[in-house]
């Protein structure tokens, strides 16, 4: 790949990034069509199937886009659910190129886009799976570009600056920023870190500090709240449940150094170590460059908050395996990394040779890993010293790739036993994620209720009073004692049936407990201060 500025007969950076987008988008569309839904995706698919003004644990934009895609395509498939994600990441790649170009230069932006597509959390999770991170990353970068554009206007005099500050062009730019930030907020609550980061950038640089005292940022903030109004309306009508839930996740449970290092290790693995380390190095380089380097200071101010906050909070709060929460911060470090890589290539000789080797090795490892894992997820061929073995090292009962395997055979059991009659039956699970997997397996044809202290969105999809008098099928990963302790007080009788084996390529990879529950006589007590929608 030629990395020099465009000359006659040479490939331009813009054309190169378009080629990158076409190739990676086609690959993602194939993966989106042939792979099963993970725990989170199955759970989010229930939100798509039950459109609401907003949702319990996430803003609504990703769900709305999924619903629009399903309605447009006309079938409820993994491809239809994921299509908006894939298309949005094509746009995210272009936005990364655009931001990198504005900050550092044309080919610098291209390499930022390339390296972004080599990072696992971005190229796979953000780029394929249906989840709020897809619109978040797209509108985050769109907002960052708009912020930097207005911060980059140079004035020759105070009079020229004042004239612009009072112009329609100025206010129009802030209106656009408000719209972009509003769509970011409508994607995920992380948007607050971007607006705060842009504010820090303006506060800490004398040349941009005048914007703090201009109506524009506050107009943008007001527009943000107007666009994100569905989030606040839903929460107002549901006792601010979403904000209470999210804030409680950061509750202090005492100092846990192990959680902190688990978070750092998880981030490194998710981004990929050979990309994470250079990104962290660029974070240091941005700090070292200081406020005088406008481009790097902007990247630092818009990157540092989500990375530091979601990492430090793990010292006292168990955020589990949510290593992607820092991803918007890392996103802003790809432009300086692209610039650094371009500088390396420009040195020529051994630097250029080893630079390209690093890129091609990253391509091979990323693509090969994704392909191998997908083949294994579908066939289970890599049973010895593969994901199953790796999962057992960390106490997992089942192969972790089973998370992305659909329990498609479950609907056959329900149809065989005559349980697919919505008028007489519904399904129960012991967790929110299993509710998603069961609902996806049953194609949304039965109500699915998690009998659990943490039912998430599913608590708001069905009115339990409408289910009274019906029989239920309890599908569980818990032991029998746990199932009975949850179900027996709500039903006349709970009967254990044969376990359902989840078969992959002829091998029983896991078993689900199946219980027949007679006559739903008393609603299950749900948290969040509600029993019905």
DSSP calls for 20-71: HHHHHHHHHHHHHHHS---HHHHHHHHHHHS--SS-SSS-SHHHHHHHHHHH
Q: CB-based contacts of 175: which residues, under 8 Å, 6+ apart?
A: 219, 220, 223
Tell the residue number behind the tokens 């109506």, with chain if given.
215
Dig out the tokens for 65 from the structure: 């886009």
Burial status of residue 360 (CB atoms within 10 A of its CB: 0-12, 13-18, 19 or more): exposed
Q: In a 3-state reduction of DSSP, which class is residue 255?
A: coil
| Closest to 263 in 3D by CA, of 329, 198, 183, 214 | 329
Dihedral over alpha carbons 46, 47, 48, 53 (to 10 degrees): 160
The pair phi, psi for residue 474, each rounded to 5°, is: -90, 115
Dig out the tokens for 32 from the structure: 């989106």
| Closest to 379 in 3D by CA, of 26, 45, 36 | 36
Tell the residue number behind the tokens 């009659």, with chain if given.
421
pLDDT for residue 528: 57
> Which residues make beta-bridge pairs with 445?
none
pLDDT for residue 320: 81
Averaged pLDDT in 10-residue chunks for the chain of 533 residues: 53 96 96 91 95 95 97 94 98 98 97 96 94 97 97 92 94 98 97 97 95 96 97 94 86 85 92 95 96 97 96 89 92 98 93 91 85 78 71 69 89 96 96 96 95 91 94 95 95 96 88 97 75 38
Q: In a 3-state reduction of DSSP, which class is residue 472?
A: strand
Distance of CA 157 to the CA centre of its chain: 44
From CA 465, how far away is CA 451, in angstroms rounded? Answer: 15
Q: Give 368's DSSP letter.
A: H
pLDDT for residue 378: 76
pLDDT for residue 392: 64
Helix ranges restricted to H, 214-272:
215-227, 229-237, 241-248, 257-271
Distance of CA 400 to the CA centre of its chain: 19
> Which residues make beta-bridge pairs with 346?
none
| Closest to 44 in 3D by CA, of 435, 453, 477, 448 | 435
From CA 278, how far away is CA 343, in angstroms rounded? Answer: 14
Tell the residue number behind the tokens 């005292």, with chain if given.
213
pLDDT for residue 390: 67
Contact 224, 178 (CB under 8 A): yes
Contact 482, 475 (CB under 8 A): no
The pair phi, psi for residue 215, each rounded to 5°, is: -65, -20
pLDDT for residue 393: 63
- Angle between helix axes 349-379 and 334-346 (nearest 10 degrees) is 130
Tell the residue number behind the tokens 């070292």, with chain if given.
288
Contact 139, 183 (CB under 8 A): yes
Count CB neighbours of 141 within 10 A. 29
pLDDT for residue 318: 84
pTM: 0.93
Contact 499, 511 (CB under 8 A): yes
| Closest to 123 in 3D by CA, of 157, 166, 92 | 92
Helix ranges restricted to H, 50-190:
61-73, 78-103, 106-116, 120, 127-128, 133-151, 158-165, 168-185
Q: Give 384's DSSP letter.
A: S
Q: In a 3-state reduction of DSSP, which class is residue 242?
A: helix
Query: What is the per-residue burial (b if ≥16 Cβ within 10 Å, else e) of 91-130?
Result: bbbbbbbbbbbbbbbbbbbbbbbbbbbbbbbbbbbbbbbb
pLDDT for residue 7: 52
pLDDT for residue 109: 98
């Amino acid at each position: 790949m030629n990395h020099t500025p465009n000359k006659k007969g040479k490939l331009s950076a813009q054309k190169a990034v378009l080629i990158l987008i076409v190739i990676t988008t086609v690959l993602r569309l194939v993966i989106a069509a042939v792979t099963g839904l993970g725990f989170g995706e199955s759970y989010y698919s229930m939100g798509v199937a039950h459109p609401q003004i907003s949702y319990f644990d996430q803003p609504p934009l990703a769900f709305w886009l999924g619903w629009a895609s399903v309605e447009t395509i006309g079938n409820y498939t993994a491809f239809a659910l994921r299509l908006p994600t894939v298309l949005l990441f094509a746009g995210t790649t272009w936005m990364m190129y655009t931001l990198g170009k504005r900050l550092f230069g044309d080919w610098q932006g291209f390499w930022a886009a390339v390296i972004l597509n080599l990072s696992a959390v971005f190229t796979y999770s953000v780029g394929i799976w249906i989840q709020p991170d897809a619109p978040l990353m797209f509108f985050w970068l769109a907002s960052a570009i708009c912020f930097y554009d207005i911060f980059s206007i140079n004035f020759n005099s105070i009079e020229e600056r004042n004239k612009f500050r009072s112009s329609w062009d100025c206010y129009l730019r802030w209106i656009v920023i408000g719209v972009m930030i509003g769509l970011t907020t409508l994607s995920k609550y992380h948007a607050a870190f971007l607006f705060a980061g842009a504010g820090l950038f303006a506060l800490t640089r004398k040349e941009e500090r005048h914007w703090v005292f201009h109506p524009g940022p506050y107009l943008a903030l007001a527009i943000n709240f107007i666009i994100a109004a569905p989030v606040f309306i839903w929460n107002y009508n549901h006792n601010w449940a979403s904000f209470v839930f999210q804030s409680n996740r950061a509750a202090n449970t005492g100092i846990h150094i192990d959680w902190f290092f688990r978070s750092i290790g998880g981030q490194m693995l998710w981004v990929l170590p050979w990309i994470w380390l250079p990104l962290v190095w660029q974070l240091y380089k941005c700090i070292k460059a200081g406020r005088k380097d406008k481009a790097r200071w902007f990247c630092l101010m818009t990157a540092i908050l989500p990375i530091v906050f979601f990492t430090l909070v793990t010292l006292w709060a168990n955020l589990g395996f949510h290593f992607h929460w820092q991803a918007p911060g890392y996103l802003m470090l790809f432009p300086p990394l692209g610039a650094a890589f371009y500088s390396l290539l420009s040195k020529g000789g051994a630097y250029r040779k080893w630079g390209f080797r690093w890129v091609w090795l990253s391509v091979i490892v990323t693509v090969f890993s994704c392909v191998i894992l997908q083949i294994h997820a579908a066939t289970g061929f890599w049973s010895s010293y593969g994901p199953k073995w790796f999962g057992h090292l960390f106490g997992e009962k089942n192969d972790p790739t089973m998370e992305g395997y659909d329990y498609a055979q479950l609907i056959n059991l329900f149809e065989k036993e005559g349980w697919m009659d919505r008028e007489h039956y519904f399904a129960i699970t012991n967790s929110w994620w299993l509710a998603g997997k069961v609902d996806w397996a049953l194609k949304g044809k039965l109500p699915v209720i998690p009998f659990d202290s943490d039912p998430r969105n599913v608590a708001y999809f069905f009115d339990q009073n409408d289910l009274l008098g019906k029989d239920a099928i309890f599908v569980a990963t818990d032991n029998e004692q746990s199932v009975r302790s949850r179900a027996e007080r709500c039903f006349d009788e709970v009967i254990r049936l044969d376990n359902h084996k989840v078969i992959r390529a002829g091998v029983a990879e896991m078993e689900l407990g199946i219980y027949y529950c007679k006559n739903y006589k008393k609603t299950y007590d749900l948290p969040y201060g509600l029993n019905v929608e």
